[in-house]
Chains A and B, each alone.
Chain A
Amino acid sequence: MTPEPKPNDERTGFPGLRTWRGVYVFVMVIFAVWVALLIALTRAYS
C-alpha cells in the first residue's frame, strides 16, 4: 500500500525537512547558534 499523499499545504518543499515541526526546529537551532555567537562576542571583548 502506498501512503496517501499529503495535502499541498503540509509539504514544506525542503528535501531534508519534510514536516513543519522539522522546519521550526531548524529555525530555532539557527536562532540558538546566533545567540551563542553573540554571547561569545560579548565575552571575548568585554
Chain B
Amino acid sequence: MNGLDYAILLITILGIAAYGTWHTRGKHTLKTFLKGSGNTPWFVIGISVMATQASAVTFLSTPGQGFQGGLGFVQFYFGMPIALIIIAAVFLPIYRKLNVITAYEYLGQRFDLKTRLLGAAVFLLQRALGAGLTIYAPAIVLSKVLNWPLTATIIGSGLIVIIYTATGGSDAVNATQKYQIAVIFAGMVAAFVILVMRLPQGLTLSDTLTIAGGMHKLEAVNFSTNPGQRYTFWSGMIAATFHMLAYFGTDQSQVQRYLTGSSLRESRLGLMFNAVCKIPMQFFILSIGVLLFVTYQFERPPVYFDQVAWTQRAAQGDAAVVHGIETRFSAAHELEKQQLQAWVDARHAGDHAAESAARTAATRAHDEVESIRKEARLAVDPRDKRNDTDYVFITFILDHFPHGLIGLLVATFFAAALSAKAAELNALGSATIVDFYKPVLKPNASEQHYLTASKTFTIFWGLVSITFALCLSLAENLIQAVNIVGALFYPVMLSLFVVGFFLRRISGTAVFWGGLTAQAVVLILFLTVPDNRLSYLWYNVIGCFTCIGMSSTLQLVLKSTSTSRPT
C-alpha cells in the first residue's frame, strides 16, 4: 500500500465514523439510543440488516471459499427467504405489538423472568464471542499481508467503532451502515470488473465457465443427503432455515435493526429486501472466488497463500523442504497451464476428441497441483488445521490491483467489519440494560441514569470483544468459524421463541429446562461427533426439536403434578 491507498482508507473509514457521531449529536434519549428515532425507511432497514450480517469476513473469506470449494456455499443461504418470510409474518407483528426494545422482553412477557434472562444470557455469550471474531478475522489477515502489528489493528479498529456506537447509539449504526455498504459494493464491483479484465488473453467467458465447471467449481447445487456434507440443497433448505430463523428472528443484533422501522410495513419490506437480494449477492461474491481460481490456473499462484507463515516455515530450518515443494509446484502448475491451453485450443477448433483428452489431462494435472498445495499445508501445520483460503483474495488484490483501488478494497474490509461490529455492540449494550440492569439490578433509576449506563455497557462490550479478539487463534475458514459459533447457541435461542409463538400451553419452567437440555445436547454433539458425520448446520434442527420435546414432556409432568397435589 502506498500513500494514496492509506489516504483513501483513512478518509473513508474515519469520515464515515465522524459522520455517524455528528449525525446523532444532541439526539440523546434512552429510547432513541436503543431503538433509534423510529422513522427509518424500509430501504435503510434493508441495508442495515444486510450490513449487520455481512461482516469483513464475508468479503475477505467468501471469495477464498469460492476459490477452494466453488459455488456450493451459496446453498447456505437457501433458508434465508423462507426464514425471513416467517419472521415478517409471525415474529415481527408480535414484537411491534408488544413494543419491545429487545427480543428477550417477549420471553419475559410470554413466560417469566428466568426464561427471559436465559435467552438474553445466551445471546450475550454468543454475540460477545461473535463480536470478537468480527474484529479479529479481518485484523489477522490484513495485519499479516500489510505487515501491520496485529494488536494495534485490533485495538484501533475496535476503538473507532466503540466511539461512534457509544455516542450515537442505534441511529448512528443505521446512518453509518448506509455509507459503509456503499463503499463495500463499490469495492466488490471494482474487484469483479478488474478480474474479468485480467482473464488470460484468448479466454472467452464460455471458456472460463467450462474450465471452472470442469474443475467442479460451478457445482452450486448438490442434492446429497449425507448429513456430514456441510452445504447441500437439503441442509440449505431445512437446517439453514432454522439457522436463519434464529439469527434474524432472535439475535438482538438483527432484531434491533428492523425494529427501528417507522411502521410494520417498513420493517417487513426491509426484511423482504434481504430475502430477495442475499442469494444473488452471495453468488456474486463466490463468483469472484471462481474467477480468481481460473485466473490462477494460468498464472502461478503462491503454493501457500499465507506467505508469512510459509516464509516462517522456511526460516525454521526447513528451507530445503520448502524449496523442494516450490520447485515441484512450479513444474506441476506449468504442466497444468499447458494442458488447459490445449483444452481451450481444442474447444476453439471444435475437436471434441482432443478436447475430451485435454480435459482429462488437465484434471489430472490439477489434482497434482492440489496435492502439492496440501503438502505445503502439512509442512506449515502437520495437523492440517490451518487454512490459507482467507488469504487468496487479499493476495490477489495486493499483487494485481492499481494503487488507490487497493486502498478502496482494504477500506471495504474495514467498513464491513465496523458496520457489523457497531450493530453487535449496540445490541449487546441494549440487551444488558433492558434485560438485566433495568429489571434485575437497578429497577427504579432515572432515564438519564439508564442512558449513561447504556453507553457504559456499549463501551464495556466493545472492550470485552477487543480482549477476546486479542486472545483468539483460528483454524477454520473465517466465515465458517463465525457460523459455527452461531450454530452452537442459536438452537436454544430459537427454540425458546418457537415454543413461545407456536406452543401456547407450555409454561416458563418447562421451556427453561427444555432450553438448557437443548444447549447441553448441542454442546455434546459438537464435542463428540466429528463434523464430517454431522454438519454443524443440523445442530439448529436437533437443538430446536430437543427443546420442544423436552419442554412438552416436562409440561405434562408439571401438569400432572399440580393436578394430583391436594388443594
Contacts and interface: CB of A to CB of B under 8 A. Distances in A.
A31 B265 contact: no
A20 B210 CA distance: 42
A38 B218 CA distance: 9
Contacts, number: 68
Contact of A41 (B84, B220, B222): B220
Nearest to A45: B213
A25 to B, nearest CB: 9
Contact of B265 (A12, A30, A34, A41): A12
B280 A23 contact: no
B269 interface: yes
Contacts of A42: 71, 218-222
A6 B269 CA distance: 17
B268 A20 contact: yes
Interface stretch (B58-66, B136-144, B271-279, B321-329): B271-279
Contacts of A34: 279-280, 283
Given A11-B265, A27-B272, A35-B78, A46 B218 contact: yes
A24 B74 CA distance: 21
B272 A23 contact: yes
Contacts of A20: 88-89, 268
A10 B93 CA distance: 11
A10 to B, nearest CB: 8
Contacts of A10: 265
Given A8-B265, A9-B264, A23-B272, A31 B81 contact: yes
Interface string B435-458: 000000000000000000000000
Contact of A46 (B88, B219, B272): B219
A2 to B, nearest CB: 22
A42 B220 CA distance: 6
B263 A27 contact: no
A34 B269 CA distance: 20
B209 interface: yes
Interface in A16-46: 20, 23-24, 27-28, 30-31, 34-35, 38-39, 41-42, 44-46
Contact of A13 (B89, B212, B218, B269): B269
Interface size class of B (residues with CB under 8 A): 20 to 34
A46 B71 CA distance: 12
A45 B212 contact: yes
B85 interface: yes
Given A27-B272, A27-B276, A46 B89 contact: no
A9 B89 CA distance: 12
Interface string B152-191: 0000000000000000000000000000000000000000
A23 B219 CA distance: 30
A24 B88 contact: yes
Contacts of B212: 45
Interface residues of A, number: 22
A9 B263 contact: yes
Nearest to B275: A27
Nearest to B280: A34
B275 A31 contact: yes
Contact of A38 (B74, B210, B214): B74
Nearest to B85: A24
A27 B88 CA distance: 12
A12 B266 CA distance: 9
Contacts of A24: 85, 88-89, 272
B219 A27 contact: no
B256 to A, nearest CB: 20
A44 B214 CA distance: 11
Interface string B249-292: 00000000000000111001100100110011001000000000
Given A31-B81, A38-B220, A45 B209 contact: yes
Given A11-B265, A38-B221, A46 B276 contact: no
Contacts of A46: 213, 216, 218-219
A44 B219 CA distance: 10
Contacts of B280: 34
Contacts of B222: 42
A30 B330 CA distance: 45
A34 to B, nearest CB: 5
Contact of A28 (B81, B213, B218, B269): B81
Interface of A: 8-13, 20, 23-24, 27-28, 30-31, 34-35, 38-39, 41-42, 44-46
Given A28-B85, A38-B283, 8 more contacts: A9-B265, A20-B268, A24-B89, A27-B85, A30-B276, A34-B280, A45-B209, A46-B213
8 A-B pairs closest in CB distance: A45-B213, A9-B264, A38-B220, A31-B81, A45-B218, A24-B85, A39-B221, A27-B275
14 contacts: A9-B264, A13-B269, A20-B88, A27-B84, A27-B272, A27-B276, A28-B85, A30-B81, A30-B276, A38-B283, A39-B220, A41-B71, A41-B218, A46-B216
